[in-house]
Amino acid sequence: MPTFREPPNSLVVALVYEGLCMFEFASAAEVFGLARPEFGEDWYRFETCAAEPGPIRGQYGTRIQPDGGLQRLAEAGTIIVPGWQGIDAPVPACVVAALRLAHARGARLLSICSGSFVLGATGLLDGRRATTHWRYADAMRTRFPAIEVDPAVLYVDEGQLLTSAGSAAGLDLCLHLIRRDHGPDIANHVARRLVIPPHRDGGQAQYVERPMAKRERDPLAAVMETMRRRLADDLPLPTLAAMAAMSERSFIRRFKASTGTTPAEWLTTLRVDRARELLEASTLSIDLIAGQTGLGTATTMRHHFRRKLGTSPGAYRQRFATR
């Protein structure tokens, strides 16, 4: 279970490097580097650092002058690795050492896309869940067999170690971190400024390249929409397969190919997400929320919260409730 320790301070330092992935870097800079005086003095401070001296050349003809060397990592409360030079590019020993020391001191380490290979090189992810871009998942499993690589999700929060999938999923993870630190209202405010949703449904499996369907309409789409609308209803597998006019075996196979998971697990995720919203924004009891979201009982709801979020509904409400 992840340990949610508070960061030592509000300083966020992004590690920049030759060939810097600019979208990943700009995402972190926009979220944590933009001045937001409306949120007070506790808001993040943003800096950059590099292992190499002098200006850093990034993608698209850009150049960045880092604020300092790796010693800045020793001061940071949160460290962001926005991509990497390539999944086969070695990670300098000095970077590995600096990240390990920062982690031991209590700093949080966050990677975007291929930046997960940098965190993997530190050994800190061994025995933990992590994600990366779906194209790199097999390579990450081969390189770091001790890491439980989950390519189906947009991000993974392991407490002090956070990893995101492809480039845009870095924004999802950055918003999640704001939500952890400052609550849902402020995270939603930042999302509105960015003109992006505060939550995105599903994982990156929905973006994996697949052959175009020959039929104009995928029968799964209507079934999935029904599942979304009828969270509180009992929707057994035979009923869902009949809606799609498929055998149960074909339905499971098609559903997993489309979403990366089973119908039951996908529906449970939707139900947990809706329960999270109700815990944040209402005063309904946990028993009532469990019933309204199809999770059944408070006991079942606690089981799924522990399994998916590593916390209990009560603890989640205490941390994120807006009332």
CA distance 323 to 314: 14
Average pLDDT over residues 112-124: 97
d(CA 76, CA 87): 25
pLDDT band, residue 221 (cuts 50/70/90) = confident
Q: What is the pLDDT of residue 1?
A: 47
Residue limits of CATH 3.40.50.880 in the chain: 11-194
Q: Give the tokens for residue 163.
A: 């990893």
Looking from the CA of 226 toward its CB, the CA atoms found within 13 Å total 16
- pLDDT above 60: residue 212: no
Q: Percent of the chain scored above 70 by pLDDT? A: 91
Average pLDDT, rounded, for the chain: 88
d(CA 23, CA 243): 41
Predicted local distance difference test score (pLDDT) of residue 78: 97
pLDDT at 268: 92
Percent of the chain residues past pLDDT 90, beyond the cut? 62
Which fold, 11-194? Rossmann fold (3.40.50)
A 10 A CB-CB count for 127 gives: 10
- By the 10 Å C-beta count (0-12 exposed, 13-18 middle, 19+ buried), 94 is classed as exposed
As a whole number of angstroms, the distance between CA 249 and CA 264 comes to: 14
* pLDDT given for residue 203 in this prediction: 54
80, 21 Cβ separation under 8 angstroms? no
Grade residue 27 by pLDDT with cuts at 50, 70 and 90: very high
Taking 50 as the threshold, does the pLDDT of residue 135 lie above it? yes
Kindly write down the DSSP assignment for every residue of 31-65, as one continuous string: IIIS--GGG-TTS-EEEEE-SSSS-EEBGGG-EE-
Say which CATH class 212-323 falls into. mainly alpha
pLDDT score recorded for residue 214: 38
Chain mean position to CA 129: 12
| pLDDT over threshold 80, residue 182 | yes
Q: By CB neighbour count within 10 A (0-12 exposed, 13-18 middle, 19+ buried), where does 213 fall?
A: exposed
Look at residue 210 and tell me whether its pLDDT is greater than 60: no
For the ranges 99-108, 219-228, 299-308, the lowest mean pLDDT is seen at 219-228
